Structure 1
Amino acid sequence: MARLGWYLARLRAMSPAEIGHRLAEAGRKRRWRRRPVGWDAAPPGAEGPLPGFPDLRAGLAAAADVPAVRESLERVRQRRLRFLGRDWPPAFLEVPGEASGFWLHDPVTGGRWPGAEASSFRVDVRSTSDAPGPDGTLGDVKYVWEPSRLQLLHPLAAALAAGEAWAGPAAAGLLRSWAEANPPYGGVHWVSGIELAMRLVSVALLAAAAGPEGLEPADRALVRQVAAAHAHHLAAFPSLHSSANNHRVAEGLGLLVAGLLLPERGASWEGEGRAILEAEAERQILPDGVGAEQSPTYQAFTMEMLALAALLARGAGRPLAAGIGDRLARGAAFLLALMDEAGHVPAIGDDDEGRVLAQPPDREPRYVASVTAAVAGLTGRPDLLPPDRDLHLRDAVFGTRGARRPAALPEGLRVFPEGGYSAARERVAGRSVHVVLDHGPLGYLALAAHGHADALALWLGIDGQPVLIDAGTYLYHSGRARRTALRESPAHNTLSIAGASQSVASAGFSWSSRADAALTAQEPGRFWSVTGAHAGYARRFGARHVRRLSRTPEGLAIADRLEGAPRPLPVEVRFLLHPDLAVAQRDGEVMVAGADGPLCRFVPPSGFGTALLRNGEPGAVHSARFGHLAPAQAVVLTGRLAAEPALTRIVVLPDR
């Protein structure tokens, strides 16, 4: 039933043109299912020297002594392999003939995903579970896909480029192991184009680190076989229409990489990849710099793909269009506006912890900051460097190791009208206050696949301590009811009428109704204000939610009203607070304190009741990492509301 629901939700989002495309694609898949599973014979000359990537090789060599890269290498040597918070059995990589046990292992249920025995077009990746069970279902497919991105090769490539002799055989052995267990086009690892594209990046890093003749002839032939098989699949099954989100950028990167690895065969792949990347950069990073998918981490992922493509194309002497650099710079400027002085951004929308350049186990808490640094290095713009970040392999590749921001992040209000965000950085009561308001669309294209129903939501930090946080993602295909709950508006820092969601989820990556907010007014100055509105409740309740956020001498004020409401309606104004904070009610107000003392107090609207939710109660949980749920705290203000505004004040308390 879950699978049927998914298909029905997708069908509702499709245009007639997309339905025609899907029918043609289904016919193509039927034909491919009849192909024998296995690697094509290596063509004549496949064992010859590989293309050189001298700039990339130099960057990888410079990463070899980055502490996090050394830690990653040590884990690889010791076979302590962990992905998305789950451990993998290392023995499978050490026993001849058991490689598939590693690459197809499901860490949630202990089961095994389909491999070469099944056509990839028959593998069901949606009927999954978030816990072991007797029904034979497997865990979220993201887990099994993660190691098969072959990002274990990234730190090995750094060591190999730096001349560490042991790393070459280790890296080539991993590639051979994966290829043995996963011939084209069978099993779970040939289902998704974005997975194929990330794998091609890993193979390119190995080739760059080894140099033209650094691998054994048979391994050079395997690199070519892997690249060709992946490119054929990417070219045959493009993500178009409602699916043309970050997956399309990944496919462009994958085809470009394949074309660079196979110059004697891949000129058309390189050209197709370049065309995709140049077009999608304009579509997926809006003119004001906001990522169209309404998720800062997905925006960073898209920007990292574009930045790496630009770096590779420039190194090959065939640079991408200059417009890509411009969009990357605008995107970095927007992400900096979302960033606090510690380099953190709000966890808006989906986040699956995907990375283009990685050093497993790699759950970077400041990934967005690292990508903005990469863009600063690529474009030669030190003003785009973040205020802080974690040193990463990415810094060495993009030439920003040791680079520091020349000045503090600017204070004041920034409004991004096309993407739909306002962000302000202010000094209040001697403290640094950072606030973000969402007044934009639900997400990108008809599916809005990675957006959440967070119209007019707020995120707040004080002195680098997150105060108002996002509920997060949890899981994708296996999250089911929990994923829906974390996506809909009662889980966010906004207003809901009678417990309803502005946008209603119909499946894990689609919606049956959507609320797209818009900026309706803004007032500049020291005591600025921004106003946004959405009509997500209009059909059900006859009202339009309008929220005005303003700077006050003591902090912030939030004025909510229901424009056009036929009568006062029951509403909840929710605020999800970081679990590390101390929260208490006092004289009708809510006091919030951090480790060093009081931070702020919430003053509810006149006539509203106040409730505190704690310890994982419904509405008081969050997912800080993929696959992980933890208790949070929530302040819930309840009352009745119509056209007269209800004013909530956030008073920032002085630092003692």
Structure 2
Amino acid sequence: MLWLYNLHYFDVLGSPTALERPEWIDPLIARWIAENPPGAKPAWDPYPASLRIVNWIKRDLSGSPLPPAAVDSLSQQAQWLDARIEWHLLGNHLFANAKALWFAGHFFEGREADGLLRRAISILARELDEQVPADGFHFERSPMYHAIIQEDVLDMIAITRVRPGDIAVSMRDRLIEVARRMMRALPVMTHPDGDHAFFNDAAIGISATTSELDAYASRVLGGGVTEEDGSALRVLPDAGYVRARRGEATVFFDAAPVGPDYLPGHAHADTLSLELSLGQERVIVNGGTSCYGSDAERLRQRGTTAHSTVILDGRDSSEVWSGFRVARRAHPFELTLEETGEVCAVACSHDGYRHLPGRPVHRRGWRLRDGSLLIDDQVTSARPHHAVANYLLHPDVAVERRDDATWRLRLASGRCVTLGVSVGRAELGVGIWAPRFGVRIATRRLAVTAQDGRACIALHW
């Protein structure tokens, strides 16, 4: 279904192909109109309709006017969408609906257009502060969807520059404020290589990069808006994500709820997972996302084993099921942060396994210095459990075992990292990294079996 949806988005209108072969576009639109009468599925489903409406309007406003038949179809699509808002899905789907109505309301004129615009404003008035809280990070807690929503907000501001209107002035000002705080949050979840971290549903190539969004924001808002504050330790308090930097090392840490309580569809069982980059090279990663749906691979990618965190008794820390569902879920608590001139120290616990015998609690603490990272996992329980701390390595990392407790990691640049296991027993296994939709790459996974509920490793470079 995801592939079929993409066929109907018309994202191609914003691609180099549309610029290089403009004569190809109008026949494509005409063919779509002929082959997809109103109500046809999945073409007229609200989500693909929302994206298509925006893409068609962007093409027209960019200097390639739509043919009259396409304008008529566009009006019909907007009215169709207005009657089928995705209140049952909420989240990024509802936001996409509002954006499409906002665009249509600015593109067309008259009473019906004003009605579309007012509907968009009413949705945005309800959703903006809910979906983008004070720390600026999108509430579904996916860096990929955050970037998508960020671009949506910038697009909605941009069209008011081309088609200003009195109705939308107040909401436009709110969108500008939201855009600025979202742009301040985005670097906190961006690796030095320029792409986002992999927490919850996240894949490279779906959303714009941080640098692309910064350039767009500079054009729309005037001036860059992603300047760093220079802190070695950054936290997004509403989202629950932490980023630390020391020297060439960057660590990203998930101390976040899996998502909104009523909307965990894009959640993974990745609580207390972390990722590590040295310079622009990723070292420790989470598994990523290559597919949607409800098959075994989708469940595996959402499960705890696909992430760099602790798994207990082979059970997921949050009970992901089907393609976009979560039953019992982990709740992080007791997050502590310390930043001195030499060290960033972070620790957090979660209760995702408290339904197991002995009510176990996992607490992860880590200390980042210039040249080292220490990670200490502790499972506290009235009953014994089999705890394993998994560390998924980037596919470019070569691994050599030096002795029972020491491993050498060689990065693509030739840099070497020594990984020592001070508590626990380590074994090297296979893993899968899914950086893009449709892409799965074999890699290595270091599994550290806890000793008396504790597993500790140290990396030095």
TM-score calculated relative to the size of structure 1: 0.65
What secondary structure does 1:152 align onto?
helix
Size of the alignment, in residue pairs? 453
Matches within 5 A, 1:304-319: 304-318=151-165, 319=169
Task: Give me the whole-angstrom Cα distance separating, in 2, the residues matched to 1:466 and 1:456.
Answer: 18
The answer as to whether partners of 1:420 and 1:518 remain within 8 angstroms in 2 is no
Task: Give me the whole-angstrom Cα distance separating, in 2, the residues matched to 1:155 and 1:531.
Answer: 44
Task: Give me the whole-angstrom Cα distance separating, in 2, the residues matched to 1:368 and 1:516.
Answer: 29
1:640 lines up with 2:456 in the alignment: no
Instruction: Tell me the residue number matched to 1:584.
Output: 400
Task: Give me the whole-angstrom Cα distance separating, in 1, the residues matched to 2:371 and 2:194.
Answer: 25
Instruction: Tell me the residue number matched to 1:611.
Output: 427
The answer as to whether partners of 1:468 and 1:576 remain within 8 angstroms in 2 is yes
Structure 1 residue 349, shift from structure 2 partner: 1.7
Structure 1 residue 598, shift from structure 2 partner: 3.4
Aligned counterpart for 1:371 among listed residues 182, 189, 213: 213
Instruction: Tell me the residue number matched to 1:466.
Output: 282
1:188 lines up with 2:4 in the alignment: no
1:575 lines up with 2:391 in the alignment: yes
Instruction: Tell me the residue number matched to 1:559.
Output: 376
Task: Give me the whole-angstrom Cα distance separating, in 1, the residues matched to 2:207 and 2:182.
Answer: 19
What secondary structure does 2:407 align onto?
strand
Matches within 5 A, 1:97-112: none
Task: Give me the whole-angstrom Cα distance separating, in 1, the residues matched to 2:224 and 2:7.
Answer: 34
1:151 lines up with 2:11 in the alignment: yes
Matches within 5 A, 1:644-655: 646-651=455-460, 653=461
The answer as to whether partners of 2:348 and 2:364 remain within 8 angstroms in 1 is yes
Aligned counterpart for 2:197 among listed residues 346, 349, 353: 346
Structure 1 residue 335, shift from structure 2 partner: 1.5
Higher RCO (CA-CA < 8 Å; seq separation 6+): 1
Structure 1 residue 186, shift from structure 2 partner: 1.8
The answer as to whether partners of 2:196 and 2:209 remain within 8 angstroms in 1 is no
Structure 1 residue 536, shift from structure 2 partner: 0.3
Task: Give me the whole-angstrom Cα distance separating, in 1, the residues matched to 2:435 and 2:130.
Answer: 29
* Unaligned residue ranges in structure 1 (runs of 5+): 1-140, 354-362, 386-407, 615-619
1:433 lines up with 2:249 in the alignment: yes
Identity %, equivalent residues: 23
Q: Which amino acid aligns with 1:510?
A: R
1:231 lines up with 2:108 in the alignment: no
- Root-mean-square deviation (CA), in Å? 2.3
Instruction: Tell me the residue number matched to 1:595.
Output: 412
The answer as to whether partners of 1:289 and 1:334 remain within 8 angstroms in 2 is yes
Instruction: Tell me the residue number matched to 1:275.
Output: 122
The answer as to whether partners of 1:290 and 1:334 remain within 8 angstroms in 2 is yes
The answer as to whether partners of 1:277 and 1:306 remain within 8 angstroms in 2 is no
Q: Which amino acid aligns with 2:146?
A: Q
What secondary structure does 1:268 align onto?
helix
Structure 1 residue 302, shift from structure 2 partner: 1.0
What secondary structure does 1:434 align onto?
strand
Instruction: Tell me the residue number matched to 1:416.
Output: 236
The answer as to whether partners of 2:141 and 2:200 remain within 8 angstroms in 1 is yes
The answer as to whether partners of 2:426 and 2:448 remain within 8 angstroms in 1 is yes
The answer as to whether partners of 1:343 and 1:366 remain within 8 angstroms in 2 is no
Instruction: Tell me the residue number matched to 1:244.
Output: 90
Task: Give me the whole-angstrom Cα distance separating, in 2, the residues matched to 1:486 and 1:412.
Answer: 31
Which structure shows the bigger proportion of residues in strand conformation?
2
Structure 1 residue 556, shift from structure 2 partner: 1.5
Structure 1 residue 366, shift from structure 2 partner: 6.2
Structure 1 residue 550, shift from structure 2 partner: 1.6
Matches within 5 A, 1:380-529: 380-384=222-226, 410=230, 412-427=232-247, 432-477=248-293, 480-526=295-341, 527-529=343-345
* Unaligned residue ranges in structure 2 (runs of 5+): none
What secondary structure does 2:382 align onto?
coil
The answer as to whether partners of 1:350 and 1:450 remain within 8 angstroms in 2 is yes
Task: Give me the whole-angstrom Cα distance separating, in 1, the residues matched to 2:198 and 2:285.
Answer: 7
The answer as to whether partners of 1:296 and 1:368 remain within 8 angstroms in 2 is no
1:333 lines up with 2:184 in the alignment: yes
Structure 1 residue 531, shift from structure 2 partner: 1.6
Structure 1 residue 383, shift from structure 2 partner: 4.5
User: Structure 2 vs 1, CA of residues 528 and 536 (structure 1 numbering), >3 Å: closer, same or farther?
Assistant: same
Structure 1 residue 454, shift from structure 2 partner: 0.8
What secondary structure does 1:539 align onto?
coil
User: Structure 2 vs 1, CA of residues 557 and 352 (structure 1 numbering), >3 Å: closer, same or farther?
Assistant: closer
The answer as to whether partners of 1:288 and 1:417 remain within 8 angstroms in 2 is yes
Instruction: Tell me the residue number matched to 1:303.
Output: 150
Matches within 5 A, 1:98-177: 141-155=1-15, 159=19, 167=22, 169-177=23-31
1:202 lines up with 2:52 in the alignment: no
Instruction: Tell me the residue number matched to 1:285.
Output: 132
**Which has the greater radius of gyration?**
1
